[in-house]
Amino acid sequence: MAKSEEKKQSYVTASYHIPSFALTTKNYDPVYDLAIVRKGKDGNLHFYRKDEEDTKARKVERDLVWADFDQFFLSGAMSHDIIPACEKILEADGWREEGFHCYSLYELAIDVIADYIHDFETSRTPLEAIQSLPQTHDDWLAELLKRWEYKQFFCGYELNKFLLYSEFYPNKHDIYNNYYERRFTCHYNQNELLTMIGYHLIALQVGSVEEIEISDEVKNITHDLVAISPSRNDNQELIKTLAKLENFCPELIQEALTEAVESLENRGFYPESRKETYLAEIYKLIDLINETAG
């Protein structure tokens, strides 16, 4: 298969249709479209429907249209196609599905849909409104992953992310070339970051680099690894490797761990009610690292 053809393939296997909208009566299909969207004389968007018995499209209350959208989308494509795909990605990449944001993926999906309904309603024209919605199953999946990351505690800590892009799962807005091959690939690699710390410590030992520069780099990476750890399914490799590095360079690693904890303690939390639980996970991680280091 040619590379250009691979890009066109969808990540999500679509078994359920995403509810859609039409711009004209001629293009309206009651099987797939929830309504025809028109701009009224009042400047607002209005919804219309037409079935085989109607001679012309009849106006429908927006609350009914959006209730149908929620029902059909959430019970269909979102529950059966998009959320399972999201679960598969998070599990494969070692994330805890719910992490510490207190929301299930289903609840996050409701939030995402609500935001896009708002964008739709505040659009200036019917075409702009329809185009404001994610168009495919993959587009909705990308938005759900973005919302999942946004709700993780570590996203509020100004991470010094050692990532190629600004998000763990970059979407097309962040990568303008070949994004179909990358948008569902996690750009967080714990092993690479741990290896980077090891290289820095060796360079520091042989005196081939500036001590301050290397120390700051090690502290930044350690901070990110610690901050992200409560959202990971398994931290055994992180604990074991940081313990080895602590034995190799105890003063710097202990200082890095201490500063990481202090930084996390002094930052705001969302929601505030989860601060105690989140920090308990951090303290447990640090204790296990120190115990393993002996």
Arithmetic mean of pLDDT, 147-166: 70
**CA 144 – CA 155 distance, rounded (Å):** 15
**CA 12 – CA 85 distance, rounded (Å):** 6
What value does the mean pLDDT of the chain take?
Answer: 86
162: which residues sit within 8 A by CB, 6+ positions away?
Answer: 192, 193, 196, 220, 221, 224
pLDDT band at 199 (very low <50, low <70, confident <90, very high): very high
Model confidence at 42: pLDDT above 70? yes
DSSP symbols for 54-92: -SS-EEE-HHHHHHHHHHHHIIIIIIIIIHHHHHHHHHH
More confident position, 197 or 53:
197
pLDDT band at 96 (very low <50, low <70, confident <90, very high): confident
Model confidence at 281: pLDDT above 70? yes
Whole-prediction pTM? 0.86
Model confidence at 198: pLDDT above 60? yes
pLDDT at position 165, please?
Answer: 54
Model confidence at 200: pLDDT above 70? yes
pLDDT at position 151, please?
Answer: 83
Q: Which pair of tokens denotes residue 21?
A: 């909208």
What pLDDT, in 10s, does the model give residues 121-138? 999 999 999 999 999 999
Q: Which pair of tokens denotes residue 258?
A: 């201490």
pLDDT at position 3, please?
Answer: 33
Model confidence at 58: pLDDT above 70? yes
83: which residues sit within 8 A by CB, 6+ positions away?
Answer: 105, 106, 109, 144
More confident position, 170 or 158:
170
Model confidence at 156: pLDDT above 90? no
- Strand 33-39 relative to strand 45-49: parallel, antiparallel, unpaired? antiparallel
Are 48 and 60 contacting, i.e. CB atoms less than 8 angstroms apart? Answer: yes
Instruction: Single out the residue of 216, 239, 220 nearest to residue 229, CA to CA.
Output: 239
Question: What does each C-alpha distance from 223 to 227, 228, 242, 293 come to in angstroms?
Answer: 6, 9, 12, 18
